[in-house]
Amino acid sequence: MDNILIPYSPIVMPRSKRYGNNYWGMIGPKVGDRDVTLYSDLEFDHWVTVETDPKVKTYCEQPLEITYVLNGKRHRTIFDMNLHKDGSELFVEVKYEKELHPSNRNYDRVMRQIEAQKEWCRLNGKLHEVRTEKAIRSGRYSIENRIKILASVINHKSPKFIEQVSKSLDYTKRTMKDICYELSETCSSYEVFLSCHWLYYKGIITADIDSKIWNYEMEVWKLEQMSIV
């Protein structure tokens, strides 16, 4: 991870205040393996996409609280995430599509909350984006594959055969089956899959993780030249 310093620390929310939502406690490799808390299934899925996006250098969940006025009353809102990607700093709010529909009972509050966040970002020269399940769960297998990749990164540091696997790949698509067969005398299929997950996480290789399950038929190929370290 690049040494980017984020001037925020996660705001820990009491579970009782996040009614009806699931609670996730995870480990975040991009943030120095510290504890990461997510407060809904959609926030968890979004975090998975952030952690497995090689272009994201670092992030902070629940980074900042601001206030706004609705119907004459002061309210508070906390951004769901601050992240650094492609050289830019971005604040993200995660919402379900139904919350953005005028028929939703909380529509006015949600719209005012988003408006307040966007205005704060405008005044402070930051980018802002609202992400819904349509973007977060963009492909049939996207989240499932990304969870596998992330599990490999969290549970297995520096795969033993990652350099050998990397050298066997180029810019031409190859199936996992072919790679495993070629390296069968060097390492196990398990080690090949583990190494490829790491190589994807680091942005060395890519694959169609949205529409295909990561199995022996998955095709992988290298991106532009990058260091494994």
Q: Do the beta carbons of residue 223 and residue 201 sit within 8 Å?
A: no
Q: Are residues 20 and 131 in the same domain?
A: yes
Task: Give phi and psi for 28, each to the nearest 5.
Answer: -110, 105
Q: Print pLDDT tens along the chain (229 aa).
A: 456 767 899 998 877 665 446 889 999 999 999 999 999 999 999 999 999 999 999 999 999 999 988 778 888 999 999 999 988 999 999 999 999 999 999 999 999 999 999 999 999 999 999 999 999 999 999 999 999 999 999 999 889 999 999 999 999 999 999 999 999 999 999 999 999 999 999 999 999 999 999 999 999 999 976 656 5
User: Model-level pTM?
Assistant: 0.91
Counting Cβ atoms within 10 Å, is residue 72 exposed (0-12), middle (13-18) or buried (19+)?
Answer: exposed
Residue 4 located in a structural domain: no
Please enumerate in sequence order all residues whose Cβ is within 8 A of that of 7, keeping only pairs 6 or more positions apart, or say none.
none
* Domain extent for 217: 142-222
In whole angstroms, what is the distance from residue 124 CA to residue 128 CA? 11
Q: Are residues 25 and 70 in the same domain?
A: yes
> Which CATH number fits the domain that encloses residue 214?
1.10.10
Q: Are residues 69 and 176 in the same domain?
A: no
Q: Do the beta carbons of residue 211 and residue 141 sit within 8 Å?
A: yes
How open is the CA angle 10-49-97, to the nearest 5 degrees? 90
What is the pLDDT, as a whole number, of residue 20? Answer: 47
End-of-domain residue from the set 83, 114, 136: 136
Q: Are residues 54 and 152 in the same domain?
A: no
> Which CATH number fits the domain that encloses residue 105?
3.40.1350.10
What is the pLDDT, as a whole number, of residue 72? Answer: 82
Residue 8 located in a structural domain: no
